[in-house]
Structures are given as C-alpha cells and as structure tokens.
Structure 1
Amino acid sequence: MSSWVNWLIATGIFLSIFYSGIDTGVSLGALFEPKNVRAVERFVTGLWPPETSPQFLLQVARLLLETVEISLVATALAIVLALPMSLFAIRPQGEEYAAQRLGRFQWSVRRTIYYSVRCLLGLLRGIPELMWALIFVVAVGLGPFPGILALATHSTGILGKLYSEIFEAVDVRLVETARVSGCNQFQEFLFVRLPMSLSIFLSYTLFRWECNLRSATVLGFVGAGGIGTQLIISMKLFMYHEVSTLIIAILALVIAIELLGQFLRVRILEGNVNKGIRDI
C-alpha cells in the first residue's frame, strides 16, 4: 500500500478522534471547576474512616461470597452452553473434499448451521451484561439469579467464539488424518481438537471466570445480586464510609482472584510442558 494512502488513513483516524472529543463535550478544564472540585472533596473526605462495625462487615462478607458464587455458576453454565455451540461454529475446511464426502445437501446444511450459530454467538456477546441483567430482572425478578443468567448469556457468546477459534487453530493435518481414519465430527473433536488445545482452552475459561467476577460486582446496580447491590444503596444514601469499606473489599477480592488466576494458569502451563517432556 502506498505511503499517501497510509497518511490518509492516519489523518482520517485522527480527525475522527478529534471530532468525537468535541462532539461529546470533552473538557479537562471541567475537572478543575470550583463546584466540581468541592464535590470531589466532599466525596473523598466522606470515605474516611471506613465503616468497620461487625454487622456491616459480616454483611459485606456475605455479599462477597454471593458475588463469587454468581461468577462461578454463571461461568459453569456458559461452558456447558458454549462448548457444544463452538463445535458448530468451527469454520468448515476443505470445501471441495467435504462437499464430496458429505454430499452437497449435507454440506449446505452444515454451512447454514455454521453461519446461524456464529450470528447467535455474536448476538449473545454483543449485548452487554448490564443490558442482559435488566432483561432478566424483568423476567425473573430481583436477586442473584438474574445476575447468573446475564453473565452466563454474555459469556456463552464470548466463550463460544473463543472455543471455536482455538479448535480451528489445530493443525489441519491431524484433523484430516482423523477424518481419513473414519472419525465423525464429534470423535474428531474429542480425540484431536480438544487434546491439542486443552491448555489454551483452560486458560481462556479461567480468564473468563475472572472477567465474570469483576462484572458480578456491578450487576447489583440493576438489582441482579452481588456486592454491587449494597454499593449502589450506600452511594444513594451518601453513606460514603460504607462505600469506602465496599471498595476496599472489592479491591481485595479482585487482587485475590488475580493471584489465584495466575497460580492456576502457571499450573496449567507447567502441566502441559511436563506432559510434552514425558511424551518426548
């Protein structure tokens, strides 16, 4: 591509960002206006000292546990839904060979299913978790259950796409060997695609659980359970000392989950490397 085209693209991107900033009213000076400075000062000074009454700390611990439970159940449900959907979302390879092996009609059905599942996964992940939470709060009422459904629905779209792409990345020669040996699509997945991509599969799943945990902390803003429920109540009542305690608790939870995630990913990687050494 010629240099002037690159410059034209870069200029277009810059102008788009510049116009978007003007159109959305971005003004760094607004942060330092006296009324805004006083509002921030009231909020910050209200955070100290944090609320440390045993009753409130016990409630925070219960809400933290509920948040973790929401993320765990939602991630498990998303795996159950995303894994079979990802099999149908694997891009068909070797069109001429597959069309001859399956027949034109079956091949057309296979491609139709592929595009339909891809569109469905795109829809599920295209709607944010908070929007799904609002929908499910209307459907099933307040509490942790709509939060679980919201996270599971959104995560199904994300994990389904990720799973299908890591399964697609498996060496096509191994897949063709399995096909020549007479394996059907499920056997091909079970004995070739899944074992070859297991470490990446587990790593992506673990990362999605971490994301769900962070998302679960704010679903309470719309009444979908978790510690976000108490956070929004304390904010509305201007009880900033409680907000301080809740923020510290959320931060501690996120750090703990991040450390746990790193530990598990290292264990998965080490296990995969050790298995490779034993195979050699």
Structure 2
Amino acid sequence: MAVVVIILVVLGVSARETEFSLTTLFQAGNAEAVTRFVRGLWPPETNVKFLRTIFGLMVETIEISLVGTALAVLVAFPLSLLAVRQRGEEFSRERLGTARWVLRWSLYYLARAFLNLFRGIPELVWALIFVTAVGLGPLPGVLALAVHSTGILGKLYAEMFESVDQRLVEMVRSTGATEMQVLFFARLPLSLPVFLSYTLFRWECNMRAATVLGFVGAGGIGTQLMISMKLFRYNEVMTLILAILILIALVDILGQFLRTRVLDAPGKCLR
C-alpha cells in the first residue's frame, strides 16, 4: 500500500511540475490551430513527381537503417565479448596471474564504459554531431544509428552470453577448449535464436529512428517531412505520414517473416 501511495504522489508531483493538463489542448486558440492543421492534411498530395521523390527517400531510409545496423553488429559483437563478466576458477587472479587478471578486468570496464557512452547519447544528438563533422546527407544518419545501436546491441549481446547455461560452458571448457572455441561451440550456438531476434528488433527500431533523423539533416524521409512542415504544406505532410506508416508496416511484416523462417532454422536442424 505504501508503494502505491508513493507512486501516486510522485506521479502527482510530476504532473504538476510538467504543467500537464488535458484542458489546455481544447482551449479556443489551441483547438483552432489543431483544426486548421487537420484540415490542411486532406487531401494528401498525389503529384507524381512528389510521389517519386518520396519513394526515393523511403529507399534511402531503408538503406540508412540497414547499413547502420550492420555496422553496429560488426562493432558490438567484439565489444560484447570483452564486456562479458567471466566467472569460475579459470579467471581468478591466482590462475591468470596478476598482469593478465588486471588486463582482463581493465578491458571489461573499458568495453562497458564505451557501450554506456554509445547508448547513453540519443540518435538525434549523434546525428547532430556527425552532421557537424561530415555535413548533411545520409552518412551522418548511418553513423548515428551505428554508434547508438552499438551501445544497445553490445550490452544485449554481453548479457545474452552471460545467461548461457554455465554447465554446458564448463563441459566444453573441460575438454581443453580455448575461450574462442567455447564461444563458437557453446555460447554462440546456444544464443543464436536470441542473437538474431535482438538484431532484427534493433533493425526495426533503427528503421523508425531513421525516419526522424532527417529533421537534423541526416538524410531519409524525415528531411522532406521537416521541409513540408516548415512550408506549411500539410497535404504533403499527410502523404509523408502515410508513406512512413506503410514503410514501418512493411518492416514489421518482414521482421516477423524473418523471425519465423530464420529463428526456426536452428530448431529444424536439431530435429
């Protein structure tokens, strides 16, 4: 009961501090602005030239998310191996020696620090940094998604490897296998379905994020959305919103298809 009261008090204070009020939205001036905006959305812009432009931007958005996710996987995987907390007698100071023990834990905390830094800064901020560094276009969008996703995937991969059944890991290790062999013959095969699921889900998230990065000039369909909003061309905004919804729906369908096909493959092989 005390926990519920505390939560309600915190919510009440937060609502007051953020000036939360549903009635504000329906005040005379605000309601008129919303009505004017909604009316301007219809009918959507169907000019052939504009639709071609949107199609090109949709393709660019997909490409940004794909390349950004692929780069993130390539960097996150080795970082995740360093960020795995090793357990057991084999990793004690007495067994490794002071120098190797210090090196192992230094690399562990360094990898964790990098992963925390990468995911702690939002994609939009990374996009602003890379737009300043390399200029406008899809490249800063790719780099922003890659860096942020590296932090997220690296943490997920590390926790995934740590959660593998240690009895199986020790069984492989008892045969005299090196840590690299333990990784490829125990940790990775046991974690493969989860590994693929995390990666596919992150790609879906990057697709959604890529539609927003254009607001800061990092390419994709968000760039045109920002331009149309600034020019008060709300019918173009409606067309762009519909295009984004279609794009996200297609990505969701593709993600479900890949999960059912790819993630079932290891089970079929085992059977």
1:20 partnered with 2:14 = yes
- Aligned pair partner of 2:95 in 93, 101, 104: 101
Please identify, of 101-110 and 121-130, the stretch whose mean Cα deviation from structure 2 is larger: 101-110
SS at match of 2:264: helix
Alignment of 1:63-78 (within 5 A): 63-78=57-72
**Structure 2 residue aligned with 1:257:** 251
SS at match of 1:136: helix
1:133 partnered with 2:127 = yes
Change over 3 Å in CA distance of 1:101–1:180 after alignment to 2: farther
For 2:248 and 2:225, the matched residues in 1 are separated by 16
For 1:104 and 1:172, the matched residues in 2 are separated by 25
List alignment gaps of at least 5 residues for structure 1. 1-6
- Aligned pair partner of 1:160 in 154, 165, 176: 154
- Aligned pair partner of 2:233 in 221, 235, 239: 239
Query: How big is the shift at 1:180?
Result: 2.3
For 2:142 and 2:184, the matched residues in 1 are separated by 29
**Structure 2 residue aligned with 1:274:** 268
SS at match of 1:197: helix
- Aligned pair partner of 1:216 in 210, 214, 234: 210
Q: Which amino acid aligns with 1:98?
A: F
For 1:208 and 1:23, the matched residues in 2 are separated by 33
TM-score (norm. length: structure 1): 0.93
Query: How big is the shift at 1:27?
Result: 0.7
TM-score (norm. length: structure 2): 0.96
Q: Which amino acid aligns with 2:16?
A: I
- Aligned pair partner of 2:45 in 51, 69, 82: 51
CA offset digits 1:24-80 (Å, max 9, x no partner) = 110111011011111111111101111111100000000000000000000000000
Please identify, of 108-117 and 71-80, the stretch whose mean Cα deviation from structure 2 is larger: 108-117
Query: How big is the shift at 1:171?
Result: 1.2
For 1:41 and 1:243, the matched residues in 2 are separated by 15
CA offset digits 1:111-166 (Å, max 9, x no partner) = 12112211210111011000100011111110000000000000000000011111
SS at match of 2:244: helix
Query: How big is the shift at 1:275?
Result: 2.1
Q: Is the 8 A contact 1:92 1:111 kept in 2?
A: no
Please identify, of 70-79 and 109-118, the stretch whose mean Cα deviation from structure 2 is larger: 109-118
CA offset digits 1:82-119 (Å, max 9, x no partner) = 0000100111112x442243223312221121122112
Q: Is the 8 A contact 1:79 1:156 kept in 2?
A: yes
For 1:174 and 1:234, the matched residues in 2 are separated by 57
Q: Which amino acid aligns with 2:110?
A: S
Alignment of 1:183-194 (within 5 A): 183-194=177-188
Q: Is the 8 A contact 2:157 2:195 kept in 1?
A: yes
SS at match of 2:263: helix
Query: How big is the shift at 1:14?
Result: 1.9
Equivalences, count: 270
Q: Which amino acid aligns with 2:256?
A: Q
**Structure 2 residue aligned with 1:4:** none
**Structure 1 residue aligned with 2:222:** 228
List alignment gaps of at least 5 residues for structure 2. none
Q: Which runs of 4+ in 1 moved over 4 A?
A: none
CA RMSD of aligned residues (A): 1.2
